[in-house]
């Protein structure tokens, strides 16, 4: 029984140029964040409209400025930084639970336009997901039941309880099938329970999440470099993920979980899920 589906993670980059005045202000706020006194650190805030961003005391790699609130994590480069984008942004999953990707990006663009000149958003990574309940035991098959182009398949457990699978982690594309009900106990995303209840969850059965992670390299291969192009082809990405890149296959008779050409070599069942 599917409950919710859509975009869970979204990472965007914006070519452009950060304004000199904003750069100077951020340099000052970054020094404030580095203060030894907590009262001073608390003043390291950059306000844009209704957003109050915490300015981090350290940058991240090639981005010297990091701003964060509940909606966005924004990494900014200095003006005249060569081929670097002006901004690299992670849109929070909470934001994507409340608003469509298009609306979230529109609000993000409004923020960035007050910091400098930007071009259209480029998709650096997008994760698609479906939350569902199911009577199938998610540990009832071996790793050989996954037919995939990826090179690695891993299963996970915590305190003796099976928690899920990961396929292709670290590559240009990856998949995860995991117990979301357990995961939110540590992630703190309790707001999901209310959304699941509204979608028909009984509040008791465990909820599983299947999600696919598409990185920029894969998206570029598919001709989906901009966010506009990516959002127009979400159905195609999901179809590619579940038909060409990854399939879960098993014998209904449970006598064998790997076969040749889709035909169980022991019982003759044709299997595919």
Count of Cβ atoms closer than 10 Å to residue 239 Cβ: 12
Q: Is the pLDDT of residue 205 over 90?
A: yes
Q: Is the pLDDT of residue 8 over 80?
A: yes
Q: Is the pLDDT of residue 35 over 50?
A: yes
Q: Classify residue 140 as exposed, middle or buried by CB count within 10 Å of its CB (0-12, 13-18, 19+).
A: exposed
Q: Which residues contact 129 (CB under 8 A, 6 or more apart)?
A: 4, 5, 6, 7, 8, 209, 210, 211, 212
The pLDDT, as a whole number, for residue 5 is 96
The pLDDT, as a whole number, for residue 249 is 84
Q: Is the pLDDT of residue 268 over 50?
A: no
CA 45 to each of CA 11, 54, 108, 195: distance values in angstroms, whole numbers, following the listed order: 23, 5, 17, 31
CA neighbor of 129 nearest in space, from 171, 170, 164, 87: 164
Q: What is the pLDDT of residues 16-26, one digit of tens each?
A: 999 999 999 99
CA neighbor of 12 nearest in space, from 155, 121, 141: 121
Residue range 22-41: average pLDDT? Answer: 95
* Beta strands 173-179 and 208-215, pairing class: antiparallel
> Where do we find the tokens 């690299």?
88
Residue range 5-22: average pLDDT? Answer: 96
Which of the two residues, 262 and 52, has the higher pLDDT score? 52
The pLDDT, as a whole number, for residue 253 is 53
β-sheet bridge partners, residue 47: 52
Q: What is the pLDDT of residues 216-227, one digit of tens each?
A: 999 999 999 999
Q: Is the pLDDT of residue 132 over 70?
A: yes
pTM of the model: 0.88
Cα–Cα distance for residue pair 165/176, rounded to 1 Å = 6
Residue range 229-247: average pLDDT? Answer: 95
Domain boundaries, the chain: 9-124, 126-247
CA neighbor of 241 nearest in space, from 129, 125, 142: 129
Cα–Cα distance for residue pair 132/102, rounded to 1 Å = 24
Under the banding of pLDDT at 50, 70 and 90, the label for residue 254 is: low
DSSP string, 188-202: --THHHHHHHHTT--
Under the banding of pLDDT at 50, 70 and 90, the label for residue 263 is: very low
Residue range 7-18: average pLDDT? Answer: 96
Which of the two residues, 251 and 86, has the higher pLDDT score? 86
Which of the two residues, 81 and 92, has the higher pLDDT score? 92
């Amino acid at each position: 029984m599917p409950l919710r589906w859509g975009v869970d993670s979204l990472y965007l980059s914006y070519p452009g140029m950060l304004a000199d005045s904003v750069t100077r202000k951020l340099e000052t706020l970054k020094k404030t964040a580095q203060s030894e006194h907590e009262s001073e650190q608390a003043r390291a805030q950059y306000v844009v409209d209704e957003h109050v961003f915490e300015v981090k005391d350290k940058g991240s790699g090639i981005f010297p400025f990091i701003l964060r609130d509940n909606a966005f994590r924004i990494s900014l480069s200095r003006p005249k930084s060569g081929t670097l984008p002006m901004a690299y942004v992670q849109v929070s999953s909470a934001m994507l639970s409340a608003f469509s990707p298009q609306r979230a990006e529109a609000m993000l663009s409004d923020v960035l336009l007050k910091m400098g000149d930007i071009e259209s958003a480029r998709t650096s990574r997008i994760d698609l997901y479906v939350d569902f309940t199911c009577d199938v035991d998610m540990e009832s098959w071996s790793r050989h039941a996954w037919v995939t182009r990826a090179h690695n398949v891993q299963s996970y457990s915590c305190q003796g309880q099976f928690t899920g699978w990961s396929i292709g982690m670290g590559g240009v594309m990856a998949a995860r099938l995991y117990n979301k009900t357990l995961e939110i106990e540590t992630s703190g995303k309790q707001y999901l329970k209310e959304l699941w209840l509204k979608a028909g969850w009984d509040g008791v059965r465990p909820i599983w999440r299947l999600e696919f992670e598409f990185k920029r390299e894969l998206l570029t291969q598919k001709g989906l470099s901009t966010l506009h192009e990516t959002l127009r082809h979400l159905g195609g990405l999901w179809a590619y993920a579940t038909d060409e890149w990854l399939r879960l296959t098993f014998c209904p008779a449970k006598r064998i979980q790997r076969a040749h050409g889709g035909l169980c070599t022991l019982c003759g069942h044709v299997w595919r899920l």
